[in-house]
Amino acid sequence: MTQSPLSEGVVAGRLDPAQLTENFGDLHPRLDNHEALVAADRCYFCHDAPCMTACPTDIDIPLFIRQIATGTPEAAAKTIFAQNILGGMCARVCPTETLCEEVCVREVAEGKPVEIGRLQRYATDVLVDANVHPFERAAATGKSVAIVGAGPAGLSAAHRLATHGHDVTLFDARAKAGGLNEFGIAAYKSVDGFAAKEVDWLLSIGGITVETGKTLGAGLDLATLSDTFDAVFLAVGLGGVNALTVEGSDKSGVLDAVDFISDLRQASDLEQLAIGRDVVVIGGGMTAVDAAVQAKLLGALNVSLVYRRGRDRMNASVFEQDLAASKGVRIITNASPKAVIGNGSVREIEFEYTDNDLNPTGQTVRLAADQVFTAIGQTLNAEGLPDLDGGKIAVTETGRTSVEGIWAGGDCASGGDDLTVTAVAEGRDAAEDIHATLMA
């Protein structure tokens, strides 16, 4: 190994392969059988359980945990998948500390929730690993539905529609299906190619044709889709990103965090992936944390995550913030970027301290930076789409847009948090509404 964390500039191979493998291993390894039984035993089987209400897909959590406790994780998996076909990914990526586990009565009473996410992972892995698909298609209806975007929202809708017997064509601009499950989620949350494996498993229901490399707005147009198919579901996510607009933002080394993560997720060999000695990430959400943590895990010496308001305003959960801190990421708050400094490529970045209402204080600070990753929000490329609301496609509860016959869900649609599980719920619910409409 010729490079180390101390090597100057942006270089690959700062850590030896064994260290990289360890760094990018499973964040929460799967529970073994004994651990799962012990964890399941803690569930009280609450009546009208708060965890169920907190889950955007309304998984019957007490029931699936009881099914684990009684030695039938396969039945538990079915309970989960019946509500959330991407229950395997959600078990890995859901911020459970702000969803089901936050309201677990044992969290409220003892500060120690039942480990719902890890139990969900335990159960769902049993069926996915065995490649057992627990659903069957209903008789063919002869109806066809186009879905644009093969991320969690699109996949969830496709599965539900296929189950009801409709023929689904799933278009995606990228070369691979999966959306941010494949390109965005932190590597240590979805190890061993799980995203791709889960997509294959989901598609084994049948009746879903995947067409990759097909982009709405460049080759595909909505009017044609509407004419050709009986219904259209838009699940294009948020493809655009907010760009950094301060002086010097165009210097090389300033990158979009989503692109950095996507390169990392698709890298066949992390040893070949270059990373700076000093990395600065701008933003306060999950993307910022993921970029900062993964930069650190690649071997960057110093990684700072800089957010313009106070900690309590950060979108990243306390768990995520603590994770970043535990990996050695320095979190700086109340600092807004002023200028990117450097000669061609970035060398430093200057921030001005701001109060929680973003009022400038006149005090500035400079951080050394070989790379700057910006994670200051994603946006919808809205051209040619139905009416918007707050920058996203306006939808009803069941995903209906302003245009008849076109539904939308997931990150691109209004309402709900930008989370994998929310996208799954919206895809499923839109699919049910499409089904009801087509069969009426």
Ligand X SMILES: Cc1cc2nc3c(=O)[nH]c(=O)nc-3n(C[C@H](O)[C@H](O)[C@H](O)COP(=O)(O)OP(=O)(O)OC[C@H]3O[C@@H](n4cnc5c(N)ncnc54)[C@H](O)[C@@H]3O)c2cc1C
Binding site for ligand X (CB under 6 A): 93-95, 148-154, 171-174, 179-180, 184-185, 189, 215-217, 235-237, 239, 258, 261, 286-287, 290, 410-412, 418-421, 423
CB of 62 to another protein, least distance (A): 8
Nearer Cβ to another protein (10/55): 55
Pick what 150 binds: another protein, ligand X, none; C-beta below 5 to 8 Å, kind-dependent: ligand X
CB of 439 to another protein, least distance (A): 25
Pick what 30 binds: ligand X, another protein, none; C-beta below 5 to 8 Å, kind-dependent: none
CA atoms within 13 A on the CB side of 387: 10
Nearer Cβ to another protein (32/357): 32
Residues 77, 80, 86, 90, Cα dihedral to 10°: -100
CB 349 within 8 A of CB 332: no
CB of 74 to ligand X, least distance (A): 25
Pick what 94 binds: another protein, ligand X, none; C-beta below 5 to 8 Å, kind-dependent: ligand X
Pick what 418 binds: another protein, ligand X, none; C-beta below 5 to 8 Å, kind-dependent: ligand X
Tokens of 265: 């997720």
Nearer Cβ to ligand X (370/426): 426
Nearer Cβ to another protein (37/382): 37
CB of 109 to another protein, least distance (A): 12
Using the structure block, give the residue that is written with the tokens 């390169």.
263
Measured CA to CA, the distance from residue 437 to residue 230 in angstroms comes to 10
CB of 68 to another protein, least distance (A): 10
Nearer Cβ to ligand X (69/232): 232
CB of 367 to another protein, least distance (A): 47
β-strands 254-256, 208-212: how paired?
unpaired
Best CA proximity match to 114, nearest among 46, 179, 216: 46
CB of 54 to another protein, least distance (A): 18
CB of 421 to another protein, least distance (A): 23
CA distances from residue 122 to 34, 125, 195 in whole angstroms, order as listed: 11, 6, 16
CB of 262 to ligand X, least distance (A): 8
Pick what 33 binds: another protein, ligand X, none; C-beta below 5 to 8 Å, kind-dependent: another protein
CA distances from residue 297 to 201, 257, 277 in whole angstroms, order as listed: 30, 15, 12
Measured CA to CA, the distance from residue 389 to residue 40 in angstroms comes to 42
Nearer Cβ to another protein (44/387): 44
Q: Which residues of the shown chain bind another protein in the complex (CB under 8 A)?
A: 33-34, 37, 41-42, 45, 47, 62-63, 66-67, 70-72, 74-75, 78-79
Pick what 264 binds: ligand X, another protein, none; C-beta below 5 to 8 Å, kind-dependent: none
Pick what 293 binds: another protein, ligand X, none; C-beta below 5 to 8 Å, kind-dependent: none
Q: How does DSSP classify residue 322?
A: H
Measured CA to CA, the distance from residue 112 to residue 116 in angstroms comes to 11
* CA angle in degrees (0–180, nearest 5) for 70-72-77: 125
CB 309 within 8 A of CB 332: no
Residues 188, 189, 191, 196, Cα dihedral to 10°: -140
Best CA proximity match to 185, nearest among 253, 126, 266: 266
Pick what 216 binds: another protein, ligand X, none; C-beta below 5 to 8 Å, kind-dependent: ligand X
Measured CA to CA, the distance from residue 326 to residue 414 in angstroms comes to 34
Nearer Cβ to ligand X (218/440): 218
Nearer Cβ to another protein (79/354): 79
Nearer Cβ to another protein (76/282): 76
Pick what 133 binds: ligand X, another protein, none; C-beta below 5 to 8 Å, kind-dependent: none
DSSP 108-158: HHHS----HHHHHHHHHHHHHHTT-----PPSP-S-EEEEE--SHHHHHHH
